[in-house]
């Protein structure tokens, strides 16, 4: 059995790993145990009753967290002309077309979120092997391929979070910082869970949301009663 350090033992005290806690209580427990020297990210992980190897069981989407993510997002936009100007005015950090493609191909990726207008997708498509593994490839299903670049940029800057189910059927995301008030974290988690629920694929059978846990970057996971996310 792996040896547990003193700090790990301390933060795990008071958590029954076999028990499911109401969301509000789980968030309180996570906040109390976020003792790192930095403002830890609060994360939620949901085990879903899907097999993403099947196209009709893929879960993907985007959600605007009502209280923001607490993270400063650098946003890149592939656009030309008036749309490029619109992106800059909305607060995009990097804007370009062929020049931006060349920079990314050369390994210069100084952004966290990527948006593109539909007409530039043939160009951006060349970057699939670079942006794809990072989960940054623009996609119309999550609103990152759009002519309304201003709304997309403001959403990304304001706390929109993309999600995509992993091979093991888990979808997870950072939903705020440990310094957030508990009620704001609860509201963000409920918004995320609601978006995942609405993204339920047609091929999903049986119980959709099977297990849920919340944690901070350095803290232990606390299991949550799934029903408490939707009340």
Q: How far apart are the first and last CA of the chain?
A: 39
Give the position of tokens 């003792």: 35
pLDDT at 203: 87
Q: Where in the chain is the domain with CATH 3.30.190.20?
A: 18-69+160-229
How large a percentage of the chain has pLDDT more than 70? Answer: 94
pLDDT at 5: 56
Pick the CATH number of 18-69+160-229 from 3.20.20.240, 3.40.50.880, 3.30.420.40, 3.30.190.20: 3.30.190.20
- Reference 9, options 38, 43, 36, 33; nearest CA is 33
Q: Where in the chain is the domain with CATH 3.40.50.790?
A: 75-158
Summarised one tens digit per residue, pLDDT across range 167-195 is: 999 999 999 999 999 999 999 999 999 99
The reported pTM is: 0.79
Give the position of tokens 């609103």: 143
Instruction: Give SS3 for 48.
Output: strand
Summarised one tens digit per residue, pLDDT across range 26-35 is: 999 999 999 8
The answer to whether 143 and 163 have CB atoms below 8 angstroms apart is no
- Reference 12, options 221, 223, 185, 225; nearest CA is 221
Separation in Å, CA 151 to CA 41, 141, 172, 219 = 25, 15, 24, 35
Architecture of the domain delimited by 75-158:
3-Layer(aba) Sandwich (3.40)
Summarised one tens digit per residue, pLDDT across range 107-161 is: 999 999 999 999 999 999 999 999 998 889 999 988 899 999 999 999 888 878 8
- Does 6 have pLDDT greater than 70? no
Q: What distance in Å separates the CA atoms of residue 8 and residue 24, rounded to the nearest whole number?
A: 23
pLDDT at 1: 45
pLDDT at 57: 93
Q: Could you tell me the pLDDT band of residue 222, with boundaries at 50, 70 and 90? A: very high
Separation in Å, CA 157 to CA 115, 210, 229 = 12, 31, 25
Top pLDDT among 11 and 128 is at 128
């Amino acid at each position: 059995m792996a040896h547990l350090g003193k700090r790990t033992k301390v933060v795990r005290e008071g958590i029954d790993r076999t028990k499911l806690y109401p969301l509000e209580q789980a968030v309180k427990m996570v906040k109390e145990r976020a003792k790192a020297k930095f403002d830890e990210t609060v994360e939620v992980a949901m085990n879903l009753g899907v097999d993403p190897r099947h196209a009709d069981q893929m879960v993907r989407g985007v959600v605007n967290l009502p209280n923001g993510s607490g993270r400063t997002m650098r946003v890149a936009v592939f656009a030309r002309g008036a749309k490029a100007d619109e992106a800059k005015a909305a607060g995009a950090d990097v804007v370009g077309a062929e020049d931006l493609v060349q920079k990314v191909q050369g390994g210069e990726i100084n952004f966290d979120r990527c948006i593109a207008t539909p007409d530039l997708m043939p160009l951006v498509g060349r970057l699939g092997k670079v942006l794809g593994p990072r989960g940054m490839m623009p996609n119309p299903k999550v609103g990152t391929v759009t002519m309304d670049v201003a709304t997309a940029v403001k959403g990304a800057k304001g706390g929109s979070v993309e999600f995509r189910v992993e091979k093991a059927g888990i979808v997870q995301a950072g939903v705020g910082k440990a310094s957030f008030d508990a009620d704001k974290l609860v509201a963000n988690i409920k918004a995320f869970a609601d978006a995942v629920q609405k993204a339920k694929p047609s091929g999903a059978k049986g119980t959709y949301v099977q297990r849920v846990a919340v944690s901070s970057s350095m803290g232990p996971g606390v299991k949550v009663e799934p029903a408490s996310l939707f009340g």
